[in-house]
Homo-oligomer: A and B are copies of this chain.
């Protein structure tokens, strides 16, 4: 049984037993003096897995973290905001290596057990002296999850944290997580970082598979096409502090673990969509009746990513023709006479026929911080859900004034 998300102050990466976190202000941010350097540490060695950007040019921290995850183990994460250390070549890689080394020395673990993540402007080298200076001042804490979540924020307006708990075989297991990333016209182009933790003991192959499946229904469903920034990073650390046998296919608790990880990832992904740059609304797009799951995913993501749909939602304009246009160009099979469309619960188009509806009332219903769009393609059993946000003048303001 999967219980609902924990909503206490402890939600986040330190919700599971045995994880500590903290942060400091290293002065890496140009626009604020908020904390920008963060550390996550597990008291015990962890089984670990990661998913990284599919970009042809990967940032230095990604290259290093992939290398350090090759053995399926890790014990700590050092992360910073302000500078992504991307497009920085060999010098950038040396800086990421030094970050791992500094954290490893501080935490008395091997360099290879530290993962590194950086977010912020690209094309600039990290000011390593500031990181060297600030690292010793980070206090690690069982309640440090929220500080960690706040220190990795860039244009995010709120920290994104989630946690879930379940019991199996008389034991209570916890899954926690935090994320950042809020460029939302094409979320794939802003850096997304997500860190997950669990006190369940988990087999490495099963952990990796669980993470991939959870990402498919969460983080991937807030992207337009699975593309990514040079820095996108999702990692999960499992320290086994809850005890019991290692979870794997067929082991008691494995199914609940999979559900808990997916639940945490969906909550974080929705949080990212809702906090898209300049966003005022969350858009949820459900597609059913598709010929295949792949078709449903493509259609849902194309609608959620459509600037015209996003602009219409912002303007409380139930312009459902734009939804159909997005579905039709998504690559999903569609037939006008089989397609139905619901806007904020109201059926406006039924199997190819426009229905009459009260435009004013529907516009009023769209004045909500959650707008639900549902498309039934009427051709099969493929289903998917995607999330996005509205497109506002504020998005343009944020992104035209980023570095200068």
Residue ranges of A at the interface with B (Cβ–Cβ < 8 Å): 54-57, 84, 86-89, 121-124, 183, 185-186, 188-190, 227-230, 306-308, 311-312, 314-317, 319-322, 324-329, 332-337, 339, 349, 352-354, 359, 363, 391-393, 395-404
Our pick among B56, B185, B315 for the contact of A328 (Cβ within 8 Å) is: B56
Hey, which chain B residues are within 8 Å of A353, CB to CB?
A: 89
Q: List the 4 closest A-B pairs by CB distance, nearest first.
A: A315-B400, A122-B321, A311-B399, A393-B393
> Is A122 a contact of B189 with CB atoms below 8 Å?
no
Hey, which chain B residues are within 8 Å of A57, CB to CB?
A: 324-325, 327-328, 334-336, 339
Known: A396-B392, A396-B395. A354 touches B56 (CB 8 A): no
> Is A325 a contact of B186 with CB atoms below 8 Å?
no
> Is A189 a contact of B307 with CB atoms below 8 Å?
yes
Q: How far is the CA of A242 from the CA of B393 in the complex (A)?
A: 51
A68 to chain B, nearest CB (A): 20
> Is A56 a contact of B321 with CB atoms below 8 Å?
no
Hey, which chain B residues are within 8 Å of A349, CB to CB?
A: 87, 123
Question: Which of A88, A308, A317, A334 has most chain B Cβ within 10 Å?
Answer: A308
> Is A123 a contact of B393 with CB atoms below 8 Å?
no
> Is B328 a contact of A230 with CB atoms below 8 Å?
yes
Pick 5 A–B contacts, CB within 8 A, sort by A: A55-B329, A123-B324, A183-B308, A189-B325, A315-B399
A62 to chain B, nearest CB (A): 12
Q: How far is the CA of A307 from the CA of B227 in the complex (A)?
A: 14
Q: How far is the CA of A398 from the CA of B185 in the complex (A)?
A: 17
Hey, which chain B residues are within 8 Å of A227, CB to CB?
A: 329
> Is A329 a contact of B400 with CB atoms below 8 Å?
no
Known: A87-B354, A329-B189. A402 touches B56 (CB 8 A): no
